[in-house]
Structure 1
Amino acid sequence: MSGNENTLREQITFFGRSLFERGLTAGSSGNIGLRLEDGWLMTPTNCCLGNIDPADISRLDLHGNLLSGKAPSKEFFLHKAFLDHRPDDRAVVHLHSTYATAISCLPGIDPMNVLPPLTPYSIMRFGKVALTPYHRPGDKRLGDEIAKVASDYRAVLLANHGPIVAGKSLKAAVYAAEELEATAKLFMLLLDRNPRLLTPEQVDELNNSPEPQQSDASGGCC
């Protein structure tokens, strides 16, 4: 195992614990995937993100065959479907965070534009959010639904299930998932209160600005 791979395993452990300890996913829910040049690192099935042993993280080949570590999350196919259509992204974070999941349960949501433009960081970190139809966890049709929208969306809500977010690095994906949950909370707090939104011109300005700088270092979360 290379030194770089060891570092990436430590990053998955660090961010998994951070997400769990702040209540962004509970029990054994949620999973993290990271695409390498020659395969994948994936959190194991039925594991708690708050207590991952780096040595247990699944090492897969590019097709998802297990090479070492514990058996991968049964939702690996979601990660692969996402990044198969996003060649510039490397990481995927799937959570069951409260507010984003709550929105995924609401009726009348526009499946192609779930959240209004409330804050600049929501635009810069993940942009528009799609909503996929409900299928039971582990159903391969979820991968087909992700594949339909992955080219155009970095963040997707699985109906009655939770958010899944891609990023150029693990840190970028984690930050985007955190920002998505914060924006979902704002949306729920402001529901039916006619909030002031960013204008189309303001959104365009943000979309034409450089992306927030993201490093792969596993330091603090700010």
Structure 2
Amino acid sequence: MADTALREQMCLLAKSLFDRGLTGGSTGNISARTEEGGLLVSPTGTSFGRLDPARLSHFDAQGNLVSGDAPTKEMPLHAAFYDTRSTAGAVVHLHSCHSVAWSMMPGVDPDNFLPPTTPYAIMKLGKVKLLPFFRPGDPAMGAAVRGLAGKRTAVMLANHGPVVAGKDVEAACNAIEELEDTARLAMMMRGYDANMLSPGQVADLVTHFDVEWDT
């Protein structure tokens, strides 16, 4: 995708996420690979609802900032996904309410953050790793992602928000929306004896859709 079209797509999808309340204020950040191997990144302190395509932070293939405003302080987090997952074409991080709420609940499995409510989070995300709380902007977040050795497409930062890598911007945005929807269902069903997908049904989905499923 040409640079201009990619810039516009990033801003359009970010605004859609903002307009539907999936991240608010100046929270969240988004990045995408360019055709020449560099990165376009949302600038620090900006709102998803008002991103300017011309002011996105532009890094070349060597990691040098060549144009645009200063990038998000979460660059180590984004870089960790790109460096460990060769298929990553975009990374999205939100402060979405229900996923943050679910990260605070006792008894949540840190190795498989989302319960098997529907097939779609399994198909789009595989297992989501719950990471501990880090101060926003702490490079240790990137180190924690690197420690997963590229085996996860998504992580949940406890008390903070989800981070998802996808093959492109649209795929990453679709997947992070599925993560938030699944967390919302989990919160709605908490305390009920809900009928979740069985281990056999999960295994069938993983096999049929060739899902990355770290064991």
Give the 3-state SS of the residue equivalent to 1:108 in structure 2: coil
Letter in 1 for 2:65: L
2:23 maps to: 25
- TM-score normalised by the chain length of structure 1: 0.89
Q: Please tell me whether the aligned partners of residues 134 and 158 of structure 1 are also in contact (alpha carbons under 8 angstroms).
A: yes
In the alignment, structure 1 segments of 5+ residues that lack a partner are 213-222
Please say which of residues 121-130 and 104-113 is displaced more in the overlay: 104-113
- Fraction of identical pairs, as percent: 50
- TM-score normalised by the chain length of structure 2: 0.92
- Output one character per residue of 1:7-56: Cα deviation in whole Å (capped at 9) or x when no partner: 10010010010000000000000000112342100001000011111001
Query: How many residues are treated as equivalent by the alignment?
Result: 210
Q: Please tell me whether the aligned partners of residues 81 and 88 of structure 2 are also in contact (alpha carbons under 8 angstroms).
A: no
- Output one character per residue of 1:127-167: Cα deviation in whole Å (capped at 9) or x when no partner: 21111111100111111111122522212110111100111
Q: Please tell me whether the aligned partners of residues 82 and 150 of structure 1 are also in contact (alpha carbons under 8 angstroms).
A: no
1:49 maps to: 48
* Cα distance change on mapping 1:62 and 1:133 into 2, 3 Å: farther
Q: CA deviation at 1:100?
A: 0.5
Superposition RMSD in Å? 1.6
Q: Does 1:77 align with 2:62?
A: no
Please say which of residues 194-203 and 115-124 is displaced more in the overlay: 194-203
Q: Please tell me whether the aligned partners of residues 105 and 159 of structure 1 are also in contact (alpha carbons under 8 angstroms).
A: yes
1:155 maps to: 154
In the alignment, structure 2 segments of 5+ residues that lack a partner are none
Give the 3-state SS of the residue equivalent to 1:111 in structure 2: coil
Q: Distance in 2 between matches of 1:136 and 1:158?
A: 10
Q: CA deviation at 1:79?
A: 0.7
Q: CA deviation at 1:210?
A: 4.1
Q: CA deviation at 1:107?
A: 3.1
Q: CA deviation at 1:211?
A: 7.1
Q: Distance in 2 between matches of 1:211 and 1:23?
A: 32
Q: Distance in 1 between matches of 2:80 and 2:120?
A: 26
Letter in 1 for 2:204: E
| Aligned ranges 1:174-189 → 2 under 5 Å | 174-189=173-188
Letter in 1 for 2:132: P
1:107 maps to: 106
Q: CA deviation at 1:64?
A: 3.4
Runs of 4+ in 1 over 4 A off after TM superposition: none
